[in-house]
Chain A
């Protein structure tokens, strides 16, 4: 089987969705670690220095563009699979089993993914586009010669708007519900289903990616709003 055929099979496409998904899982960890600097009480010195590094380091920029392609690839193949999965049942059932045979989370991947996708677009417009292509306030910290783009200030101002905070929290609920099933599901697609590791994988999928990370992300705008 040629590569072109291999990645055109149902399992091949799922492997691509799983691989891109796991890469995105690794990304959210790094992103959250960076974001926590927004909670420092240093007028954004650490965060802005970090943002300047991330924005100018060519390796990071290479990965950042790769990341956007990965998100699009993940969404595109998943949508393609969703449509072919729907088409596999032309006449629907009159009565459905609901939660009796499968978890609610596992059936809402497309919806949660769509919420997440809309969130990502708004999020990029709010910060990434402004940082790279828009007018940014500058801040020169004591002991530094070059002024830094004050992304810290932009985030503080952005999250003074109530509905944006709500939107970010909804986005993170989408992330949570998507990853509660997504991480474990990607592992299963790669054939990782073993008595000795299933407990650990469930724990990582639900508690780390499904709860801790989305809550960590959501806390930041809420804290800024009430500060």
Chain B
């Protein structure tokens, strides 16, 4: 692919802290290489801001290789930008043309309050995991891994669900700010495996209860989450979560 440089107009959300109202700021990004990642473009803009003595744009990032799930940017109306199955760090500037205007917003959800600019607080996800997204393991020697047979198909499905990086794009993309795709991936990866079975009922009930408590919306099956998920988590996981939840609700004795 041919390399080119471009000048862009950025409309970036600036917000000092959680309590600030926030507003859009228009900035110019000059001489941006088509080979840069979207975050590298922000690095260039930030260096200029720092040289001018201004406050750089705050954004979250960690691995810059598509697996940490920190880069919570809503770009031109799309979670992580226009490409499918990518995080913001894996979105490259060749997705844009010279002279484009790009609007960048943080994830918008009551459960993900903005910390600063494009950085949001996703600790609601951590609390959902704490409510049941684990298996309890007794102390003592670990048993031989191969002594529990696991069906290959189920192992593959569990692995696909476990690919969820908890980035929150599903919440950001959903018109209801629903966290169902995230919760369903976390429930599925365990529900599909024998190790997850003993606690399957309490897991489904507790994680859904925590999800509601955090203020996420409900799922109306629009499929926007699946379309935006950088790890391409399937909607079949949401159906599985629903089955797990129904099963648990109808049979729990509490």
Residue B125 CB within 8 A of the other chain: no
Residue B77 CB within 8 A of the other chain: yes
Residue A118 CB within 8 A of the other chain: no
Q: Mark A72-115, 1 if CB is under 8 A from B, else 0.
A: 00000000010011011111111111101111001101000000
Is A88 touching B110 in the complex (CB atoms < 8 A)? yes
Tally of contacts, chain A with chain B, CB under 8 A: 135
Is A11 touching B108 in the complex (CB atoms < 8 A)? no
| CB-defined contacts of A89 to chain B, threshold 8 Å | 108-110, 175-177, 217
Is A102 touching B242 in the complex (CB atoms < 8 A)? no
Candidate in B219, B221, B249 with the most chain A CB atoms within 10 angstroms: B221
Residue B245 CB within 8 A of the other chain: yes
| CB-defined contacts of B173 to chain A, threshold 8 Å | 97, 101
Residue A188 CB within 8 A of the other chain: yes
Q: Mark B190-229, 1 if CB is under 8 A from A, else 0.
A: 0000000000000001001101100111111111100110
| CB-defined contacts of A81 to chain B, threshold 8 Å | 218, 220
Chain A 187-206 interface residues, beta-carbon cutoff 8 Å to B: 188-194
Q: Mark B229-250, 1 if CB is under 8 A from A, else 0.
A: 0000001101111110110110
Q: Which of A12-20, A63-71, A148-156, A208-216 contacts B (4 or more CB under 8 A)?
A: A12-20
Is A85 touching B175 in the complex (CB atoms < 8 A)? yes
Is B220 touching A101 in the complex (CB atoms < 8 A)? no
Is B236 touching A193 in the complex (CB atoms < 8 A)? yes
Residue A176 CB within 8 A of the other chain: no
Is A88 touching B243 in the complex (CB atoms < 8 A)? no
| CB-defined contacts of A96 to chain B, threshold 8 Å | 77
Candidate in A14, A89, A189 with the most chain B CB atoms within 10 angstroms: A89
A184 CA / B238 CA spacing, docked (Å): 14
Residue B87 CB within 8 A of the other chain: no
A130 CA / B223 CA spacing, docked (Å): 43
With both beta carbons as reference points, the residue of chain A lying nearest to B215 in the complex is identified as: A88
Q: A90 touches which one: B110, B175, B216, B254 (CB < 8 A)?
A: B110
Residue A161 CB within 8 A of the other chain: no
Q: How far is the CB of B146 from chain A (nearest CB, A)?
A: 29
Residue A1 CB within 8 A of the other chain: yes
Chain B count of residues within 8 A CB distance of the other chain: 49
Is A1 touching B220 in the complex (CB atoms < 8 A)? no
A145 CA / B22 CA spacing, docked (Å): 78
A35 CA / B86 CA spacing, docked (Å): 52
Q: B243 touches which one: A93, A109, A191 (CB < 8 A)?
A: A191
Is B223 touching A103 in the complex (CB atoms < 8 A)? yes
| CB-defined contacts of B223 to chain A, threshold 8 Å | 101-103, 106
Is B177 touching A103 in the complex (CB atoms < 8 A)? no
Q: How far is the CB of B75 from chain A (nearest CB, A)?
A: 9
| CB-defined contacts of A6 to chain B, threshold 8 Å | 249
Is B108 touching A93 in the complex (CB atoms < 8 A)? yes
Q: How far is the CB of A199 from chain B (nearest CB, A)?
A: 14
Residue B103 CB within 8 A of the other chain: yes
Answer whether A93 and B218 are a contact pair too, CB < 8 Å, given A11-B208, A85-B175. Answer: no
Is B108 touching A91 in the complex (CB atoms < 8 A)? yes
With both beta carbons as reference points, the residue of chain A lying nearest to B236 in the complex is identified as: A193
Is B246 touching A88 in the complex (CB atoms < 8 A)? no
Residue B14 CB within 8 A of the other chain: no
Chain A 164-191 interface residues, beta-carbon cutoff 8 Å to B: 181, 184-185, 188-191
Residue B117 CB within 8 A of the other chain: no
Residue B94 CB within 8 A of the other chain: no
Residue A9 CB within 8 A of the other chain: yes
Is A15 touching B246 in the complex (CB atoms < 8 A)? yes
Besides A10-B208, A88-B110, A109-B220, 6 more A-B contacts (Cβ < 8 Å) are: A1-B248, A85-B217, A89-B217, A93-B105, A101-B228, A193-B236
A binding-site residues for B, Cβ under 8 Å: 1-2, 5-6, 9-15, 81, 84-85, 87-98, 100-103, 106-107, 109, 181, 184-185, 188-194
